[in-house]
Amino acid sequence: MKKSTMGSVFQGMGKSLVMIAGLVMVLTACQTKAQGQVPDEVKASFESKYPGENDPDWKKDSNGNYESKFKKDGKHYRADFSPNGDWIETEQSIDKDDLPKIVRDLIKEQFDDYEIVEIEKVDHHSKGVFYDVEFKRDGEKKDIEFTADGRRLN
């Protein structure tokens, strides 16, 4: 009796492994297909803005825009493009020490009791370059955008 029970266990494990392998293959194929579905206009706009960067990772965001993740000069970037290829913005995660001194001073003065979750340097098609600082206090998050001269955009 025990022999047939052990055989059933191994048979069940084999089926599970086959199902897991199948799922991995489907997910990999979907990711490859999604990258292949990036419109030519978006790819051309990316190549024009970032010549020589020919291997970005693409994903479609919740707004229907295309986000590319790539590395340039050892730094990681994310660039967003509309479905028709218009560049929207490029973001780069940075450290607090990389912020302009005036922005660091404002943070200490106005947000000293907040935790900094993330800091990004953003180059936006209409706002220009600014710094997006995500703060958290008591479980609540807020994003504040600062210009290099310390002006708040939001």
1 within some domain: no
Pair of tokens at residue 25:
């293959």
Residue 37 has pLDDT above 60, yes or no: yes
User: DSSP strand E in the chain: where?
Assistant: 57-60, 66-72, 75-81, 87-93, 115-124, 128-137, 140-146
Q: Determine the distance from the C-alpha atom of residue 111 to the mean position of all C-alpha atoms in its chain, rounded to a whole number.
A: 25
* Residues 21, 7: Cα–Cα separation, whole Å: 21
At a CB cut-off of 8 Å and minimum separation 6, what does 87 contact? 45, 49, 79, 80, 81, 125
Residue 33 has pLDDT above 90, yes or no: no
CATH label of the domain that carries residue 83: 3.10.450.360
Query: Across residues 108-123, what is the average pLDDT?
Result: 97
15 within some domain: no
Kindly state the DSSP code that residue 1 receives in the 8-state scheme.
-
- The mean-pLDDT minimum among 28-37, 39-48, 67-76, 103-112 falls in 28-37
Domain that includes residue 135, residue range = 34-146
**pLDDT for the residue numbered 53:** 86
Contact 115, 136 (CB under 8 A): yes
Render pLDDT for 74-94 as a digit per residue (tens, 0 to 9): 889 999 999 999 999 999 999
29 within some domain: no
What pTM was computed for the model? 0.73
**pLDDT for the residue numbered 32:** 40
Q: What percent of the chain has pLDDT over 70?
A: 77
* Residues 125, 87: Cα–Cα separation, whole Å: 7
113 within some domain: yes
Count of domains for the chain: 1
